[in-house]
Amino acid sequence: MSSPFLKQVFQKDKTFRPKRKFEPGTQRFELHKRAQASLHAGLDLRQAVQLPPGEELNDWVAVHVVDFFNRLNLIYGTVSDGCTERSCPIMSGGPKYEYRWQDEHRFRKPTALSAPRYMDLLMDWVEVQINNEDIFPTNVGTPFPKNFLQAVRKIMSRLFRVFVHVYIHHFDRIAQMGSEAHVNTCYKHFYYFVTEFGLIDTKELEPLKEMTTRMCH
């Protein structure tokens, strides 16, 4: 990560959601450390995402979902000053793709929103999901719900839209800060992970299909 990126991320006037952390001594903390160690050792990302022998799939997935949420929060935070109601009145990924927001509370029907409003709602929604003990249990021995992977697919599909909007509408900002390599590595890691475990519909990947082909194949 380059220093301009770090400076931007840690500016005092930038507010980021607190990171969801794993408690030391827990199984998930150990998995988190192992996943991080693989990345720092320069292990091929395709291999780094594979389920380690003897580990539970749901634990491995939970660790990565939280990690991707934290990282995408930072990535969007670095371009958010250039993502405004005026510059991005519609949450889109180029002219062909528009994303509408829907949730269980205020927006029961898919609703067109500006990109910054959509991003706020998206990050808040994901944060609620990953802090919900019924979906992401933290106590050792508490089983994951039967619909855990289904819930994860929805989270990952929505997080993918952050990459779509950032790459298509704000990549000049990323490039200007010298953060291309960091964001590209993050994207590849995310892509290999969701495709390894079937956590995203192919149609969701369409907006970045050409770039992904160049970068990941």
| pLDDT tens, residue by residue, 64-91 | 999 999 999 999 999 999 999 999 999 9
Q: Is 121 helix (H, G, I), strand (E, B) or coil?
A: helix
Q: What is the C-alpha separation between 129 and 152, in angstroms, rounded?
A: 9
CATH topology of domain 24-83+136-216: Butyryl-CoA Dehydrogenase, subunit A; domain 3 (1.20.140)
Percent of the chain with pLDDT over 90: 64
170 labeled binding residue: yes
pTM of the model: 0.83
Tell whether 186 is in a known binding site: no
At residue 70, the 3 state secondary structure works out as helix
**Is 83 marked as a binding-site residue?**
yes
The phi, psi pair for 103, rounded to 5°, reads -145, -175
Of 74, 49, 102, nearest in space to 163 by CA: 74
Does residue 12 have a pLDDT over 60?
A: no
H or E element, residue 210? helix 209-216
Contacts of residue 58, defined as CB under 8 A and 6 or more positions apart, other chains included, come to: 144, 148, 149
